[in-house]
Amino acid sequence: MISAFERIKTLMKDGTDKKIGMLNRYAIGVKELPGRSFAFLFSTPVYYQGGMPIPGRFSQKKELYYFKGSSCLIEITPTGVTFQREWGDACIRFETEQEFVLDEQRRYLQSKEMKIYPTFNGIAVHQYHTQKTELVFDTTIKSELKPKSNGKYFAYRVEKLRPSFVINAMFAQNTAQTVFSGVRLTSKKKSATQYQITMQSMDAAAEHLAWEANFYEPKLIHDTTVESKSPKANNVFGDVAFLGSTRDFGTQYLYLRFDYDKLSDVKTTDITRVTLHIPYYGIQGNSFQVSAPFARFCSFESNWKNRMGSIDLPVDCTIREGVVSFDLSKYMLTDRGSLIVTNGIVLRMTEKKDYAILATADNYLTPQILEFEYKK
């Protein structure tokens, strides 16, 4: 899979409209072909305040590795990771001490047990040869609210509907990447500010675990999965979707809608095409179906039992370079090329044997991307 940082580097090599990045932290404006220009809007901020792009590279001082995310400083030592923000810190301690090696391009750290990647506001971890891992989570963030957890994520909250720090169990896989499974996350309170986090593969054949930990940022896209195996469960802060029918989750759909307020600094007229790009980690088949919800849905309350009905849309879908792309132009544009405010979309697979492990809008390693193509 191509990382989001590499995608941004590729986009920027042809020149960018720097005004867009200074005004909107989610957007990259690209001038590319004669008579055409593009804007790429990411589901999470890809710029610092002030308009500088987030590079996604480690710096090193002896055994300390660090980088700055969109709103926090991340420091990694052999014993764990510290996330520092102005109103509180979070710390994750590893089960065993690690001996890290930094790759030549400073894109990841690697030890015998794990590989750590920078995300836009935290880390993503791929742990080798283990079906279970245990982490100790400490925080100085003050909150009277109980952390929210649904077996897929652990979210420490500062407000009822706003997390401060989220740990996500992503997926498990075998070495050959022919077996994928979900990861079950459980948490146990050890003190007022300390929790034991356990993540375990849901398939004995999938012995590599992937997980993320990030300070929360508001999203350009609001989404949640709903699934038949947990009909009353909501997954608003989950960072992956197991679209289709799987043993672990039953049938799963992905509901998503766009925050049009975050498009206020981006041109929404003279658009010729709107494309939604969603990164995937594993895929089989191409029976994607896009539909339009009958009404606005709530990403915090939606579940399989109360899910909003929808009507199918004629949407073209292409798969390439680790991304599934959906052409939403007919649904989201007027005849004159102005953006239409919609209720969002629903994604599902129509063939039982097909599945796709997709990044949701809460994924900081490989965020979703909304592309506008303009005529000039």
Q: Please report the pLDDT score of residue 2 as a whole number.
A: 61
* Residues paired with residue 39 on neighbouring β-strands, in sequence order: 29, 372
Write out the two tokens for 264: 């206020």
Q: Please report the pLDDT score of residue 106 as a whole number.
A: 94
Conformational region of residue 268, where left means phi above 0, alpha means psi within -120 to 50, and beta covers everything else: alpha
Percent of the chain with pLDDT over 90: 80
Q: Please report the pLDDT score of residue 51 as a whole number.
A: 80
pLDDT tens digits, 163-177: 999 999 999 999 888
**Angle formed at CA 118 by CA 224 and CA 256, multiple of 5 degrees:** 15
Q: Please report the pLDDT score of residue 22 as a whole number.
A: 54
Q: Please report the pLDDT score of residue 176 as a whole number.
A: 87
CA–CA distance, 37 with 376 (Å, rounded to integer): 7
pLDDT-flagged residues of the chain (< 50):
none
Q: Please report the pLDDT score of residue 150 as a whole number.
A: 95
Write out the two tokens for 189: 């309170």
Q: Are 148 and 161 in contact (CB under 8 A)?
A: no
Selection from 322, 239, 241 nearest residue 6 by Cα: 322
Q: Please report the pLDDT score of residue 31 as a whole number.
A: 67
CA–CA distance, 112 with 128 (Å, rounded to integer): 8
Q: Are 362 and 324 in contact (CB under 8 A)?
A: no
Q: Please report the pLDDT score of residue 13 as a whole number.
A: 58
Q: Please report the pLDDT score of residue 160 as a whole number.
A: 86
